Amino acid sequence: MAARGKPARAAWQAAAERAKSLTMRPDALNSLFVEIDALDGVGPKLRRPLEKLGLARIKDLAYHLPDRFVERRAVANLDEASVGENIIVALTVREHRASSGRGPFRVVTEDAIGNYCTLTYFGRASYTAKKQLPAGERRWIAGRLDQYGQMLQIVHPEHVSEDASTPLGQLREAVYPLSEGLTQGRVAALVQQALKALPELPEWIEPGLLARMKWPDWREALREAHKGTHAAARDRLAYDELLANALALMLVRESNRSQRGTPLSGDGSLRAKLRLPFDLTGAQKRSIGEIEGDMAQAAPMLRLLQGDVGSGKTVVALSTMMIAVEAGAQAALLAPTEILARQHFETLSRIAQGTGAEIALLTGRDKGRARESILMGLVDGSIDIVVGTHAIFQDSVAYRNLALVVIDEQHRFGVGQRLMLARKGRRAPHTLAMTATPIPRTLTLAQYGEMDVSRLDELPPGRQAIDTRVVSVERMGDVVGALARHIEAGQQAYWVCPMVRESESDDLAAAEARYAALKERFGQDVALVHGQLRPEAKDAAMERFAAGQAKLLVATTVIEVGVDVPNATLMVIEQAERFGLAQLHQLRGRVGRGSAKSTCLLLRGPALSETARQRLALMRETQDGFRLAEEDLELRGGGELLGTRQSGDTPFRIASLEQIQKLLPLAHDDARLLIERDGGLAGPRGTAARLLLYLFERDWGVQLLRGG
């Protein structure tokens, strides 16, 4: 670290002790988990924009890798440079030219042989420019050389210095992701402080693989990744992340297999009484058979049910829970939101009516006697199935014989949360996780490597295809007119926007502005839902729409999953080119849930990239979510897989999609080798691997070990 005074050293030590006290993390990692306000120059004002980027600790800064690098060339004069080139050149200030109104501030400069160049500044930067560039003085300037009319110019120079040493030290400069209130220089300086705090750690990668790949050690890899486009260093760091993930998931699987569960075999008596809305598809029968086979074993089931939109996951889940009830045990269904929990409760109650199974709903909203009655029913066993939010695994909730846990929208819950619920049983319960997001086979291992997988890739009979059309935003008037006719006919509709409110820096459609415009036309028939509303307001709007009191729901992507309103048969997605294929597919799946014909209108902007054009064409071509997920992977490459929603992306911060495809099989094999041949975390290499798990905060894998 840079030299520090006694108060600074004391602050650093105190921060390190706090970091250590909060976890069983090994001592060797404590310096990496120190909070960033222990760094020189970081106070409350700077901490806020850093935390927006997820930079709260030293390790976050160390892993805040550059997006790219700027390569500059030092030139003696402007004749040696080309327009569009990043250069460093000495210029003498000749004149300041202030524009009227909000125009730019220009500084006219001259190079060593008389060539003129204008340095152009906008906004508040002009005040700094006046101080940095006094008339008659020579300064070293770093920036991109452009041409405006006949005049050479550099817009917002990246560096201005009185001597050559500073800019010449920036011939190659890292460009970091920023948030408002941060500059490249400030982030780079903090990163350098973080890199100086890196401890020396033992090697966790298998030695033969390390030598074969010619990777640097961990500390050197981090330093090289911030210096330049060092492919081997970047791959090494990505591999570490993939190995930590693979090892943690493998530990979960191994721990699960070693636990003693409750074999469950039903006699089919309750399942025969279910009021199914349609005959089971082949995919549903196959999945139920796989689940039934798992539940009959002593080792607890750990299975993922992947179901495309409308494929009937709820029926499979209910059949699974009925197996547990037939065997004399209890089951719990965990949903990510109260709205979805209530919807599941109503659906399950309707289908299970007449079976004799007692189903209850438990959410954070339940209070007083009603809550006490449910808690008592879970303890004495009179409630067979409970549906709820995270409230069902609170400390105050106990079960008589919980033997099956079903988790809906698995990606909304971490492994740690799932393990908390699993501890509610007298023995480890069977677990069925469900997701409505089709996941490319390439990524299934990365995200759900600890689970066996069943797929629902057929739609129930009678489900009609959704008529999908691409419409230019220039036809907005026609779309609103069609919406009016749709509502007059007694149908309901969704209107989805990419963001909540408009921003000065972007032209994305905003839900609040669209809501205001549509409310002028349709009055109280319009409701608004987005993620920034208070939960009560959001629930109230959703309930109005579900009850048919509101005919049009304007929303952001919060409605992507879990909304089931059969009377809603029109979906309008504004600026559809901004979304990924998988997300468009999920949104489209909110309609077509009843017997009436449904339509999805994809409103596109006037200018489309080739990728956006292909994406919208595929939406018209197919409704196969698994195919769309694979195509999305190809079209988006290393970008967001599910469009504007980050949580649906890969579970990795460092590894790109290309690196996942290339390195994940190696990481998976290495993790298996460590567990099966090298003694797991108890062996010599396991000590280093334990550090790796804590470093990437996959320590729930460690906690599963006895004495871990």
**Are 153 and 59 in the same domain?**
no
- Specify if 407 maps to a domain: yes
pTM for the full model? 0.70
Bigger pLDDT: 247 vs 5: 247
**Are 381 and 427 in the same domain?**
yes
B/e letters for 687-707, b = 16+ CB within 10 Å, e = fewer, are: ebbbbbbbbbebbbbbebeee
Q: Which of 556, 561, 559, 571 is nearest to 492 (CA)?
A: 571
**Are 521 and 378 in the same domain?**
no
CA distance 312 to 608: 35
What pLDDT sits at residue 704?
Answer: 58
CA distance 511 to 41: 39
For position 76, which CATH number holds? 2.40.50.140
Q: Which of 613, 573, 609, 612 is nearest to 589 (CA)?
A: 573
**Are 443 and 474 in the same domain?**
no
Lowest mean pLDDT among 443-452, 638-647, 679-688: 638-647
**Are 422 and 481 in the same domain?**
no
Query: What region does 145 belong to: left with phi over 0, alpha with psi -120 to 50, or beta?
Result: beta
501 pLDDT band, cuts 50/70/90, is low
User: Stretch 544-570: mean pLDDT, rounded?
Assistant: 85
Evaluate if residue 642 carries a pLDDT over 70.
Answer: no
B/e letters for 579-594, b = 16+ CB within 10 Å, e = fewer, are: bbbbbbbbbbbbbbbb
Bigger pLDDT: 213 vs 256: 213
Lowest mean pLDDT among 7-16, 336-345, 608-617: 7-16
User: Stretch 36-60: mean pLDDT, rounded?
Assistant: 92
**Are 168 and 278 in the same domain?**
no
For residue 502 the two structure tokens come to 């408009």
Q: Which of 412, 435, 433 is nearest to 308 (CA)?
A: 435
CA distance 558 to 529: 8
- Specify if 675 maps to a domain: no
**Are 481 and 577 in the same domain?**
yes
What pLDDT sits at residue 21?
Answer: 45
What pLDDT sits at residue 422?
Answer: 61
Q: What is the pLDDT of residues 567-603, one digit of tens each?
A: 999 999 999 998 888 889 889 988 988 778 999 999 9
For position 411, which CATH number holds? 3.40.50.300
Percent of the chain with pLDDT over 90: 52
**Are 122 and 140 in the same domain?**
yes
What pLDDT sits at residue 607?
Answer: 84
User: Stretch 484-495: mean pLDDT, rounded?
Assistant: 95
Percent of the chain with pLDDT over 70: 88
Burial of 489 (0-12, 13-18, 19+ CB in 10 A): exposed
**Contacts (Cβ under 8 Å, ≥6 apart) of 282:** 458
For residue 386 the two structure tokens come to 């409970």
- Residue 498 neighbours by CB distance under 10 Å: 20
626 pLDDT band, cuts 50/70/90, is confident
Answer with the one of 622, 648, 668 that is the final residue of a domain. Answer: 622
340's enclosing H/E stretch is helix 338-352
- Looking at residue 258, its amino acid is S
Q: What is the pLDDT of residues 123-141, one digit of tens each?
A: 877 788 888 999 999 999 9
CA distance 649 to 499: 18
CA distance 677 to 584: 45
User: Stretch 644-672: mean pLDDT, rounded?
Assistant: 76
User: Is the CB of residue 431 less than 8 Å from the CB of residue 303?
Assistant: yes
Note down the domain range covering 427: 271-456
CA distance 277 to 594: 11
Q: What is the pLDDT of residues 156-189, one digit of tens each?
A: 998 899 988 766 766 888 999 998 888 888 999 9
Q: What is the mean pLDDT of the chain?
A: 86
Bigger pLDDT: 417 vs 338: 338
- Largest separation between any pair of C-alpha atoms in the chain: 95
User: Stretch 680-705: mean pLDDT, rounded?
Assistant: 83
What pLDDT sits at residue 2?
Answer: 39
- Specify if 236 maps to a domain: no
- Alpha helices per DSSP H over 96-140: 125-132
**Are 447 and 564 in the same domain?**
no
Q: What is the pLDDT of residues 184-233, one digit of tens each?
A: 889 999 999 999 999 999 999 999 999 999 999 999 999 999 998 899 99
- Specify if 188 maps to a domain: yes
What pLDDT sits at residue 542?
Answer: 86
Total domain count, the chain: 4
**Are 431 and 514 in the same domain?**
no
Q: What is the pLDDT of residues 16-28, one digit of tens each?
A: 555 444 457 899 9
B/e letters for 123-144, b = 16+ CB within 10 Å, e = fewer, are: eeebeebeebbeeeeebbbbbb
- Specify if 248 maps to a domain: no
**Are 318 and 409 in the same domain?**
yes
- Specify if 681 maps to a domain: no
Bigger pLDDT: 300 vs 460: 300
User: Stretch 39-53: mean pLDDT, rounded?
Assistant: 91
**Are 156 and 25 in the same domain?**
no
Q: What is the pLDDT of residues 277-286, one digit of tens each?
A: 889 999 999 9
Highest mean pLDDT among 10-14, 481-485, 554-558: 481-485
What pLDDT sits at residue 645?
Answer: 30
Lowest mean pLDDT among 25-34, 157-166, 340-349: 157-166
What pLDDT sits at residue 647?
Answer: 32
- Specify if 632 maps to a domain: no
- Specify if 54 maps to a domain: yes
Q: What is the pLDDT of residues 360-411, one digit of tens each?
A: 999 887 788 989 999 999 999 999 999 998 888 888 899 999 999 999 875 5
**Contacts (Cβ under 8 Å, ≥6 apart) of 534:** none
